[in-house]
């Protein structure tokens, strides 16, 4: 029988760019208002890249924080997996730049392009390397700089997205009951054109017409995406809850921090207060 290890979360980190844009700032950019944005999204502000910043820069800051918290050195990282659709360049991937900037001289590195679910897929992928014993320490990064891909004349998209990076270290432990235990993923590619960047890929390279149509920017059918997301998450919760994980069944309404200790190496109370809510709407 193949031995499986635990994939313990031993360190986390985050990074935000230097420029803060409030809804009042957005009013000077497009035809919108603070009331319009808050009523529909709840968003009050977002951070966007400043000149000279890149997604790899933010990722390195988040990664350094996670590595330091894990109590290891960059040289002890075996693999870097980055979920992003806004890498610095078309080639090479962001992970390669992160590896170099961190000085993770022993690490392999690759990107996963899965947009909103990029961090989930990166976490699940990194966990498999740790749980099977192929890697001892994996740095998982989720980072996007959407502001560089937005049409700042389109209020249906530019008010919704911001920039930032998060990272965590997964470390191998002998106890397979510790760390990432289960995952559930599904894909429906049929609705690709409801949230996409049409221009700039191999199907439609950048040319004068693409630029005229502003097709190099994110386009989204917001209502369609919202309806799909609500239905998909509901179905996934019911399906996975009914099926149960291979090791135990989870309550659909969540677990307490005490129960979570069985699934993750540290409960919520073990993290510094500023780490307990990495994604907060203000």
Residue 153 near residue 218, CB atoms below 8 Å? no
* DSSP string of 22-37, one letter each residue: EHHHHHTTSS--HHHH
**Quick one: 6-179+248-274 is in which CATH superfamily?**
Thiolase/Chalcone synthase (3.40.47.10)
71 vs 129: CA distance, rounded Å: 20
Question: What pLDDT is attached to residue 232?
Answer: 84
Question: What pLDDT is attached to residue 238?
Answer: 78
Question: What pLDDT is attached to residue 228?
Answer: 86
- Start-end of CATH 3.40.47.10 domains in the chain: 6-179+248-274
Question: What pLDDT is attached to residue 246?
Answer: 45
36 vs 144: CA distance, rounded Å: 25
3-state secondary structure of 209: helix
Share in percent of the chain as helix, strand, coil (round to 5): 40, 20, 45
Q: At what angle do helices 55-70 and 94-102 cross, to 10 degrees?
A: 50
Nearest Cα residue to 197 out of 85, 92, 87, 90:
85
**DSSP summary character for residue 52:** T
* DSSP string of 80-120, one letter each residue: EEEE-S--SSSSS-HHHHHHHHHT-TT-EEEEE--GGGHHH
Question: What pLDDT is attached to residue 259?
Answer: 38
Question: What pLDDT is attached to residue 236?
Answer: 79
Residue 139 near residue 165, CB atoms below 8 Å? no
- Half-sphere exposure of 133 toward its Cβ, with a 13 Å CA cutoff? 7
How would you write the pLDDT of the chain (282 residues) with one tens digit per residue?
Answer: 788 999 999 999 999 999 999 999 999 999 999 999 999 899 999 999 999 999 999 999 999 999 999 999 999 999 999 999 999 999 999 999 999 999 999 999 999 999 889 999 999 999 999 999 999 999 999 999 999 999 999 999 999 999 999 999 999 999 998 888 888 788 888 888 988 899 999 999 999 999 999 999 999 988 888 888 888 888 877 776 655 544 444 343 443 333 333 333 333 344 444 443 333 322
CA distances from 264 to 214, 233, 252, 259 (A): 45, 22, 17, 9
Question: What pLDDT is attached to residue 131?
Answer: 96
- Half-sphere exposure of 55 toward its Cβ, with a 13 Å CA cutoff? 26
């Amino acid at each position: 029988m193949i031995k499986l290890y635990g994939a313990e979360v031993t360190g986390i980190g985050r990074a935000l760019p230097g420029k803060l844009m409030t809804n009042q700032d957005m009013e000077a950019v497009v035809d919108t208002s603070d009331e319009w944005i808050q009523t529909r999204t709840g968003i009050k502000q977002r951070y966007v890249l400043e000149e000279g910043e890149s997604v790899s820069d933010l990722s390195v800051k988040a990664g350094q924080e996670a590595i330091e918290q894990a109590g290891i050195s960059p040289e002890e990282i075996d693999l870097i997996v980055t979920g992003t659709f806004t890498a610095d360049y078309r080639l090479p991937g962001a992970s390669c730049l992160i590896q170099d900037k961190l000085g993770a001289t022993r690490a392999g590195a690759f990107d996963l392009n899965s947009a909103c679910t990029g961090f989930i897929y990166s976490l699940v992928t990194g966990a498999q390397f740790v749980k099977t014993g192929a890697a001892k320490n994996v740095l998982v990064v989720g980072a996007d700089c959407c502001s560089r891909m937005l049409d700042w004349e389109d209020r249906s998209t530019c008010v919704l997205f911001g920039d930032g990076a998060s990272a965590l270290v997964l470390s191998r432990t002998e106890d397979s009951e510790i760390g990432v235990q289960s995952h559930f993923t599904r894909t429906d590619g049929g609705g690709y054109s409801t949230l996409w960047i049409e221009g700039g890929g191999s199907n439609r390279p950048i040319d004068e017409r693409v630029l005229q149509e502003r097709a190099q920017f994110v386009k989204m059918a917001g209502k369609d995406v919202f309806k799909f997301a609500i239905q998909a998450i509901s179905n996934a919760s019911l399906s996975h809850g009914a099926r149960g994980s291979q090791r135990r069944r989870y309550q659909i309404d969540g677990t307490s921090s005490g129960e979570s200790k069985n699934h993750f190496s540290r409960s919520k109370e073990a993290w510094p207060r500023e780490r307990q809510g990495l994604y907060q709407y203000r």
